[in-house]
Amino acid sequence: MESSKEQHLFETETCLIILNVAFDQYNASLLNYFFSFLPRLMTFILEIKRSSGLRFRRVLNETPVSVLRLPRGPEPNSRGFDPTSPRFIALCPTTLPSSSSSSSSSGSADEEEQRLRAELRERFLRTLLLMTGKRVRFDMHEHVRVHARFGASDIDVLNLQVCDLETPLGVQREALLRSQDVIACSFEV
Amino acid sequence: MAMRQTPLTCSGHTRPVVDLAFSGITPYGYFLISACKDGKPMLRQGDTGDWIGTFLGHKGAVWGATLNKEATKAATAAADFTAKVWDAVTGDEVLTLAHKHIVKSVNFTEDSTCLLTGGNDKVLRIYDLGKPEAEPLEIAGHTSAIKKALWCNNDQQILSAADDRTVRLWDKNTKEAVKTLAFDASVSSMEYIPDGEILVITYGRTIAFYNANSLDLIKAVDAPASIHSASLHPEKDFFVAGGDDFKLYKYDYTTKEEMESYKGHFGPIHCVRFSPDGELYASGSEDGTLRLWQTAVGKTYGLWKCVLPEELSSENSEVLYCPPAEIKA
């Protein structure tokens, strides 16, 4: 809409210039002839404009500041905090004890904690593996209890992919459950 | 040649952005945290707007967010009646502080040892982060929901703004209100500049500047529309304000004259903050986006690049992203 307005302005300006010249150089009786000539004159001007590639420039000649790229957005499947970033490596305390750690007592307590963590994590992952394809009961917030066939979870266990989710609205062939909404899940081994 | 401002849009939030805060300048640059009604506050690199991570855990809209000076800790205040403290490097939740109502504001002390919270339960609470199980120090007095609570005067005093149309200055040790400021309209935002002890308060269409120690008015400026947030440049040359008309206004601090106004957001602007180096300012809006704006338009900084006219037509131009023409207010 902006460009057609500009175009219109340009055309009007050009016509006004021509009309002024016409009035100065000829007497009033010739103006009648000139006005009948106007539509053909307009078309002629437009043809010249189009063929010569004239572009109507904005009165305010401003250039937008260039940017190298747009800011990166969030990754869809992860919560971020890249562990390979320099800041993470520099500031994050390592949970695994180094061989030359301070005191032996704190070192062994850390080792024990790490061992237990690893064991629990492994049990959790094995449970997820065992759950695939099985009919699972999900207990969720607001006393919601649904049954579905478990498919998989994503890498951060943010979402759970399920099939044949039984809801009060009917059976959903494919669905995605938010892990933060799930309180517990149980299934027959 | 005149340069037109190109704001950088940071997308990712799905609901209105209600609060944002910058960290101090760290060896890794500075960072920005945004609080959003979608319950997922995000950490971004301050100078580019690149997303770093999302803090997951809140079950309600996040109303307030802050970072400590070193950007190692983050705190958020949410409608799920909790304030949470996070590790800003790993993104893990470190602490959950339960409250009796919606929490609206959180603020770290300079040394990041204490956290101040304020919310709809009208009570200010000070938590010692070294002893999180201990009961917090409580300061009561406001007769209405607290909108913003800030540490000031070397973390010895507290400034709080509430829906009862007052701003109160409290002493941390005596827990008494030292001074009270009353307004005709509800205070929409408050910013404290430690260097210079200036307090920026917005209410109605006014942006007012007060001395943070005496609460004496320094100056007040009226804007064309209702203002939700304003921020003063670290060098106190200018200030920016945004509000209901979707525009961002830039004013000269000394002369109080409006210098520029920028259109870009598609919704009312809820928060505006200058970066710690003053090179850019960020605005959060109802449209769910954050936009970064240059203070010195055309300067090469972050993702903005100053391009000479000859370079635009050369073969290097495909490296540069030329933004689509935006309407200038």
Tens digit of pLDDT for each residue in A76-115? 888 999 988 889 888 876 655 444 444 455 678 888 989 9
Model confidence over B13-47: pLDDT tens digits? Answer: 999 999 999 999 999 999 999 999 999 999 999 99
Model pLDDT, residue A111: 86
Instruction: Name the token pair of B302.
Output: 């972050």
Instruction: Give the distance between the most distant pair of CA atoms in chain B.
Output: 67
CA dihedral B222, B223, B229, B234 (to 10 degrees): -70
Note the pLDDT tens digit of each residue in A126-174.
999 999 999 999 999 989 999 999 999 998 889 999 999 999 999 999 9
- Which residues between 264 and 293 in chain B have a beta carbon less than 8 angstroms from any beta carbon of chain A? 292
B120 at interface of A, judged by CB pairs closer than 8 A: no
Residue B303 with chain A: CB contacts under 8 Å: 67-71
Residue of chain A whose alpha carbon sits nearest to that of B45: A71
How far, rounded to the nearest angstrom, does the alpha carbon of residue A69 sit from its chain's CA centroid? 14
Q: Which residues of B touch A66 (CB under 8 A)?
A: 6, 304-305, 307, 312, 320-323
Report which residue type is found at B128: D
Contacts of A158 in chain B (CB under 8 A): 56
**Tens-place pLDDT, residues A18-34:** 555 554 554 556 666 55
Instruction: Give A98 to chain B, closest Cα distance, Å.
Output: 20
What residues contact residue B170 under an 8 Å CB cut-off, 6+ apart?
A: B124, B139, B141, B157, B158, B159, B160, B176, B177, B178
DSSP label at residue A30: H
Burial of A27 (0-12, 13-18, 19+ CB in 10 A): exposed
Q: Is B136 on the interface with A (CB under 8 A)?
A: no
Q: Rounded to a whole number, what is the distance in Å from the CA of A158 to chain B's nearest CA?
A: 9
Q: B201 to each of A152, B51, B134, B149, B285, how far by Cα in Å?
A: 51, 30, 33, 12, 19
A63: chain B residues, CB-CB within 8 Å: 1-4, 309, 312
B87 in Cβ contact with B43 (< 8 Å):
no
B294 vs A: CB within 8 A: yes
Contact B321 A74 (CB under 8 A): no
CA atoms of A112 and A145, how far apart (whole Å): 37
Residues of A with CB below 8 A from B82's CB? Answer: none
Question: How near does any CA of chain B get to the CA of A64, in Å?
Answer: 4
Can you say how many angstroms the Cα of residue A102 is from the centroid of all Cα atoms in its chain?
46
Residue B39: closest CA among B9, B73, B76, B93: B76
Q: Is B311 helix (H, G, I), strand (E, B) or coil?
A: helix
Task: Give dist(CA B21, CA B12) in Å, integer.
Answer: 17
Tell if the CB–CB gap between A61 and B2 is shorter than 8 Å: yes
**Model confidence over B128-158: pLDDT tens digits?**
999 989 999 999 999 999 999 999 999 999 9
Q: Residue A67 is nearest to which of B55, B323, B326, comparing CB atoms? A: B323
B12: left (phi over 0), alpha (psi -120 to 50) or beta: left
For A8, left (φ over 0), alpha (ψ -120 to 50), or beta?
alpha
Contact criterion met (CB < 8 Å) for B56 and A79: yes
Residues from chain A that touch B94, judged by Cβ atoms under 8 A, are: none
Over chain B, what is the mean pLDDT? Answer: 91
The β-bridge relationship of strands A159-167 and B146-152 is unpaired
Give the integer Cα–Cα distance in Å for B62 and B165: 23
Q: What is the ipTM of this complex?
A: 0.82
Greatest alpha-carbon pair distance for chain A in Å reads 113
- Check if B319 contacts A (Cβ < 8 Å): yes
How far is Cα B189 from Cα B202, in angstroms, rounded to an integer?
Answer: 5
Both ends of chain A: CA-CA distance in Å? 67
Alpha-carbon gap: A187 to the closest alpha carbon of chain B (Å): 26
Average pLDDT for B246-254: 95
**pLDDT, tens digit, 9 for 90 and up, residues B316-326:** 444 455 555 44
Residues 45-84 in B contacting A (C-alpha not used; CB under 8 Å): 48-57, 59, 72
Q: Read out DSSP for B118-157? A: EETTSEEEEEETTSTTSPPEEEE--SS-EEEEEEETTTTE
Token pair 């997922």 is at which residue?
B40
B96 pLDDT more than 50? yes
Alpha-carbon span B228 to B189, nearest angstrom? 6
**Cβ-based burial of A21 (10 A; exposed 0-12, middle 13-18, buried ≥19):** exposed
Contact (CB<8Å) B9/A62: no
| Pairwise CA distance, residues B21 & B147, whole Å | 15
- To the nearest whole angstrom, how far is the Cα of B4 from the nearest Cα of chain A? 4
Enter the tokens of residue B161: 């703004």
Quote the percentage of chain B above a pLDDT of 90: 86
CB count in 10 Å sphere of residue B4: 16
For testing the chain A interface, which of B11, B303, B304, B305 should be mutated: the one with the most A CBs within 10 Å?
A: B303
On chain B, the residues whose CB falls within 8 A of the CB of A70 are 8-9, 303, 321
